[in-house]
Structure 1
Amino acid sequence: MAYELKTKQTDASVIEFIEQVDSEKKREDAYKLLDIFTETTGFEAKMWGPSIIGFGSYHYKYDSGHEGDAPLVGFSPRKAKISLYFAPGETKREDLLKSFGKHTTGKACVYINKVADIDADVLKTLINESIAFLRATYPE
């Protein structure tokens, strides 16, 4: 049975999604991030799955044969924390995160409580590095 990708680009409205975020502060931060990601990437924001706001896309194919499409970068204003999605090469990511501000990390995500906790210039660099890394790793 083929693995079905859950996170696909949809036609859902990014603004309607942000407007449904319970916390007013998280909504404000989502709009700030929307501006930063849009300005930095030059891509229009699109919904990926029910809760990820993604920018741009790339097609990946692993040695295992698994392949699919994913956003180059993105974020999601979740209940607990805001998830930021980027994939710059590990060493560069770790170096950049040292000066990023208050955050925690997961395998592919960086979690923040609020935009005021982070350095927006470092965020822009992380976005650009992620796009460059993914384009080099998965050329079209």
Structure 2
Amino acid sequence: MYEPKTKENDSSVIEFIENVEHPQKREDAYKLLDIFTETTGFPAKMWGTSIIGFGTYHYKYATGHEGDAPLAGFSPRKAKISLYLAAYNPEREALLADLGKYTAGKGCVYINKIADIKVEVLEALIKQSVSFLRKTYPGE
């Protein structure tokens, strides 16, 4: 049976952020920690070794694959900061158009630094992600 690698754990979020090498990324990680905590209302938890997640939901696909994931999160990676927000969300594209400088993959939005984006749009994206995932996967 498939066992997800990225699970919620008791590692220290602050210790993880303190170990971010680049000073600007570390500073942005603390700002994002505040933004995500205030916007979601959930405490920060480490997911795997490098994702800071907020809240949780249980998903189950038609294929039978299921697991748990954070409702929203981020990771200050070496190249860019990854923002984990609901991917298959019709309202997401409209909000992203106003975010600022970013790139997007299938499930992530990537930014270089907070100064490149509008924080109020990020907050709207986070709220919208949490709302969408709670409606899509009720029961949490």
Moved over 6 A (4+): none
Match of 2:39 in 1: 40
Q: Is this contact kept in 2: 1:89–1:133, CA < 8 A?
A: no
Report the aligned-residue RMSD.
0.8
Q: TM-score, normalised by structure 2?
A: 0.97
Deviation at 1:89, TM superposition (A): 4.7
What TM-score, normalized by structure 1, do the two folds share?
0.97
Match of 1:10 in 2: 9
How many residues align? The count is: 139
Shift of 1:4: 1.1
Greater Cα shift, 79-88 or 26-35: 79-88
Gaps of 5+ in 1: none
**Structure 2 partner of 1:53:** 52
CA–CA separation in structure 1 for the residues paired with 2:122 and 2:106 = 17
1-structure distance, mates of 2:51, 2:88: 21
Query: Where does residue 77 of structure 1 map in the other structure?
Result: 76
| 8 Å Cα contact 1:10/1:47 also seen in 2 | yes
Structure-2 change in CA distance of 1:48 and 1:71 (3 Å) = same
Distance 1:103 1:9 in 2: 27
Residue in 1 that maps onto 2:110 = 111
